[in-house]
Amino acid sequence: MAMDYEKNDKPAVFAGSLKPEDAGPGPGQLHCATSVACDSKGRVYVADYMNDRIQVFSPTGNSCRACRS
């Protein structure tokens, strides 16, 4: 989930899905996200516990293989 504090918006899905049936191992899918971090370029790193990986997302929430450089 993400929200703009300055606009007082409601939280919205940033990456993945809130539906349990959408969990999975594919790009952009998550299965038990446990931690989130951001870097200076706005990329978002999500620790995906049940898939044993860290996924990288662009600042807009797209799965981001190319933006790792």
- DSSP code of 8? T
Contact 57, 63 (CB under 8 A): yes
pLDDT in tens, 10-46: 999 988 889 999 999 988 889 999 999 999 999 999 9
Name 58's Cβ contacts closer than 8 Å, sequence gap at least 6.
Answer: 42, 43, 44, 64, 67
Residue 65 pLDDT:
66
Alpha carbon 52 to chain centroid, angstroms: 15
Residue ranges of domains in the chain: 20-68
Task: Spell 30-47 as b/e; 16+ CB within 10 A means b.
Answer: bbebeeeeeeeeeebebb
